[in-house]
Amino acid sequence: MSGLQRVITCCAVIVLVALAGCGSREPTTKGAPPTVRLLTESQYRNIIADVFGRQIEVAGRFDPVVRTEGLLAVGAGLATVTPSGVERYVALARSIAQQVVAAQNRDSLLPCKPTDPQQADQKCASEFLTRTGRLLFRRALSATEIAAASDLATTGAREQHDFYAGLALGLQSLLAAPDFLFVTETVRDDPRSKTVQLDGLSRASRLAFFLWNSMPDENLLQAAERGELDSAAGVGRQVERMLDSPRLESGVRAMFTDLWALDDFATLEKDPTLFPAFGLAAANDAREQTLRTLVDALLVRDADYREIFTNRKTFMTGALGIVYRVPVDAPGEWTPFEFDRDDPRAGIQTQLGFLALHSHAGKSSPTLRGKAVRELLLCQRVPDPPSTVNFDRFNDPASPGKTARARLQVHSTEPSCAGCHRLMDPIGLALENFDGAGQWRERENGEPIDVRGEINGVAFDDPAGLGAALADDPAAPACLVRRSYSYALGRPIERNERKFLSYLDASFARDGYRLRSLLRRIATSEAFFKVTTQPMQVARGQSSEGPTS
Applying the rule CB under 8 A, the residues between 386 and 415 that interact with another protein are: 386-389, 391, 394-397, 400, 407
Smallest separation, CB 499 to another protein (Å): 26
Smallest separation, CB 480 to another protein (Å): 24
Interface stretch with another protein, choices 32-40, 120-128, 319-327, 512-520 (CB under 8 A): 32-40
Smallest separation, CB 48 to another protein (Å): 18
Distance (Å, whole) CA 282 – CA 261: 18
Number of residues this chain uses to bind another protein (CB under 8 A): 72
Q: Which is nearer to another protein, 41 or 473 (CB)?
A: 41
Residues sharing a CB contact under 8 Å with residue 493, sequence separation 6 or more, in sequence order = 482, 485, 486, 501, 538
Residues sharing a CB contact under 8 Å with residue 11, sequence separation 6 or more, in sequence order = none
Report if residue 544 touches another protein, rule: CB under 8 A: yes
Smallest separation, CB 118 to another protein (Å): 17
Interface with another protein (CB under 8 A), residue from 244, 384, 442, 461: 384
Longest CA–CA span in the chain (Å) reads 86
Report if residue 200 touches another protein, rule: CB under 8 A: no
Distance (Å, whole) CA 354 – CA 373: 9
Interface stretch with another protein, choices 150-158, 310-318, 324-332, 479-487 (CB under 8 A): 150-158
Report if residue 438 touches another protein, rule: CB under 8 A: no
Within 312-371, the residues that bind another protein by CB under 8 A are 360-363
Whether residue 498 contacts residue 29, with contact meaning beta carbons closer than 8 Å, is answered with: no
Smallest separation, CB 378 to another protein (Å): 20
Cβ count within 10 A of residue 363 = 14
Residue whose C-alpha is closest to residue 411's, from 440, 446, 386: 386
Within 269-298, the residues that bind another protein by CB under 8 A are 269, 271-274
Binding mask 40-79 for another protein (x = CB under 8 A): ---------------------x-xx-x-x------x--xx
Would you say the C-alpha torsion 228, 234, 240, 241 has a positive or negative sign?
negative
CA 177 to chain CA centroid, nearest Å: 25
Three-class DSSP category at 130: helix
Smallest separation, CB 397 to another protein (Å): 4
Distance (Å, whole) CA 215 – CA 117: 31
Interface with another protein (CB under 8 A), residue from 159, 189, 190, 333: 159
DSSP letter for 514, please. B
Q: Which is nearer to another protein, 168 or 470 (CB)?
A: 168
Interface stretch with another protein, choices 101-109, 149-157, 425-433, 460-468 (CB under 8 A): 149-157
Within 238-267, the residues that bind another protein by CB under 8 A are 267
Report if residue 417 touches another protein, rule: CB under 8 A: no
Within 456-515, the residues that bind another protein by CB under 8 A are none
Interface stretch with another protein, choices 10-18, 118-126, 147-155, 461-469 (CB under 8 A): 147-155
Residues sharing a CB contact under 8 Å with residue 221, sequence separation 6 or more, in sequence order = 134, 135, 138, 139, 201, 204
373: left (phi over 0), alpha (psi -120 to 50) or beta: alpha
Report if residue 82 touches another protein, rule: CB under 8 A: yes
Whether residue 157 contacts residue 122, with contact meaning beta carbons closer than 8 Å, is answered with: no
